[in-house]
Amino acid sequence: MRRATGNERWPRPAVMGVVNVTPDSFSDSGRFGSAREAADVARAMLADGAALVDVGGESTRPGSDPVTPEEELRRVRPVLELLAGERVSVDTSRAVVAREALALGALMVNDVTALRRDPDVAAAVAEASADLCLMHMQGEPRTMQAAPHYEDVVSEVAAFLEERLAFAVAAGIPEERICLDPGIGFGKTPDQNLELVRRLDRIVAIGRPVLVGLSRKSTLARVLGGPETRVGTDAASVGAAVAAFDRGATLFRVHDVRSHVEALAAAAAVERGTVRA
């Protein structure tokens, strides 16, 4: 099967709906009682205008522990089976999970470790002619928020993404199939997250579509509430997504699909100055 390339597949803006099949996610812990429920919610996201849905079986929340590959597969496999034929990405950094998801029809692998945890993910993506998202993270989920440190967060994240892009291309993945993500909340302070969005043009200048995951992240909670508030509101998420769109982001990983689709459609219309593209 021929798959569309990233730029054909991801008109700007494109929304990716979050389907966490994990008991301990950032914002929607234990949301689904069954695989069928998760698949129904994913279908509703696609009907609401999501370009694809991102199915993940291992939480990457700060402080979270890794799960075994068997457990990760046990969580995502039934959901992916029910979503066969739909536009799906798989949020995994393991080749065994990526391979199974791609065999079940996933179009993209969203690897939050940018091929560092399991470099064989690259071969899985290349063999399937699939798309790939490479994300920046400093440290690992269990400890990454302990003491994030950068001289200049934007140039360090950009240099990292350029290096991982070159690695992926050298591993046989066409550049057209790769998008890049600054990794909001992954080993960064709230101010560093905001600085990354403020200067997103530096990441966009690398020349690949940029994905941002701001939805419900704790940085947004900190903007509005006290230090004890952990989950950002959907309105704050939409506002931040529009700010990222204005700075060139293409893909938006979100929980509340409809509000993002509507807001980003309006922002794109303003950018064009015409009602229809």
Can residue 113 be called a binding residue for ligand HH2 (CB under 6 A)? no
What residues between 149 and 178 interact with ligand HH2 by CB under 6 A?
none
Residue of 9, 217, 222, 247 with catalytic role: 217
Quote the least distance from Cβ 256 to ligand HH2, whole Å.
12
Among the residue ranges 59-67, 80-88, 117-125, 238-246, the one whose residues contact ligand HH2 (CB under 6 A): 59-67
Helices (H) and strands (E) in the chain, counts: 11, 8
Of 166, 109, 113, give the one whose Cα is nearest residue 138.
113
Q: Name which of 67 and 123 has its Cβ closer to ligand HH2.
A: 67
Figure out which of the listed residues 91, 118, 131, 195 binds ligand HH2, where binding follows CB under 6 A: 91
Q: Rounded CA gap, 159 and 165, in Å? A: 10
Instruction: Point out which span in 7-15, 24-32, 72-80, 123-131 binds ligand HH2 (CB under 6 A).
Output: 24-32
Tell me if residue 253 is catalytic: yes
Q: Is 208 exposed, middle or buried (0-12, 13-18, 19+ CB in 10 A)?
A: buried
Q: Name the residue type at position 10.
A: W
Least CB distance to ligand HH2 at residue 244 (A): 11
Please identify, using beta-carbon distances, which residue of 60 and 145 lies nearer to ligand HH2: 60
Q: Of residues 210-239, which lie at the interface with ligand HH2 (CB under 6 A)?
A: 211, 213
Closest CA to 133 of 59, 228, 52: 52
> Is 188 annotated as catalytic?
no
CB-count burial class (<10 Å; 0-12, 13-18, 19+) for 122: buried
Figure out which of the listed residues 61, 77, 164, 260 binds ligand HH2, where binding follows CB under 6 A: 61
Stretch that binds ligand HH2, among 25-33, 94-102, 152-160, 202-210 (CB under 6 A): 25-33
Identify the three-state secondary structure at position 56. strand
C-alpha span between 159 and 141 (Å, rounded): 21
Task: State yes or no: residue 184 binds ligand HH2 (CB under 6 A).
Answer: yes
DSSP run (H or E) holding 125 = helix 120-128
Query: Under rule CB under 6 A, how many of the chain's residues touch ligand HH2?
Result: 21
Beta strands in the chain (DSSP E): 14-20, 52-56, 88-91, 108-111, 131-135, 178-181, 211-212, 251-254
On whether the CB atoms of residues 23 and 67 are closer than 8 A, the answer is no
Q: Of residues 109, 133, 254, 264, which one binds ligand HH2 by CB under 6 A?
A: 133
- The residues annotated with a catalytic role in the active site are 217, 253
Site residues, ligand HH2 (CB under 6 A): 18, 20, 22, 25-27, 56, 59-61, 91, 110, 112, 133, 135, 181, 183-184, 211, 213, 253
